[in-house]
Structure 1
Amino acid sequence: MKSKFLKLVLPAFAILLAVGLAFATEDKNVLQDAHYYDAVDQEWKSVTAEEGCGEIGNTPCLYEGYQLYSMPSFGGIPLRKNAL
């Protein structure tokens, strides 16, 4: 009796769990910190990069005309994005 119950309930529970978890996920935008060198103040400043900025692409990611970098140094990776 016990094994018949488990043979019926366990697969049904696994299917319900899989379906429930499939709908429980959502897309999140990951905010990336970016850095730029402010020539007026002569210091590095941090901002949040716009969506789509990363290491690859054909259009530079800019903030108020300044190139954004992955780290607060000119040795950091210049952030770029693909133009739409």
Structure 2
Amino acid sequence: MPLQRRWRDLNRQTVGSAPEQYGVYELGEDGDVLEVGAGVLRDELKDALAYGSGDEVRWETCQTKAEATELAADHRDRAGL
């Protein structure tokens, strides 16, 4: 099951608005999930923007790194990635 958040364009403004806390994120293109990752959201999205990993993003914050990693693994399995 994908994250229950709306897609946002992956651009500098979106990256700047991302919280500096742990979370899980999905990178996508045309509404399709291309990648699921976890980490400090702003840092992870800076890398995604720099490397052109997708056109859109959505995320969910987590309390701990372990929680983010576990949630990302669940989302990867469900997305078949």
Structure with the larger RCO, 1 or 2 (CA within 8 Å, 6+ apart): 2
Q: Which has the larger radius of gyration?
A: 1
- Between structures 1 and 2, the one with greater strand share: 2
TM over 0.5: no
Please give the range of the TM-score, normalised by the shorter of the 2 chains: under 0.3
TM-score (norm 2): 0.24
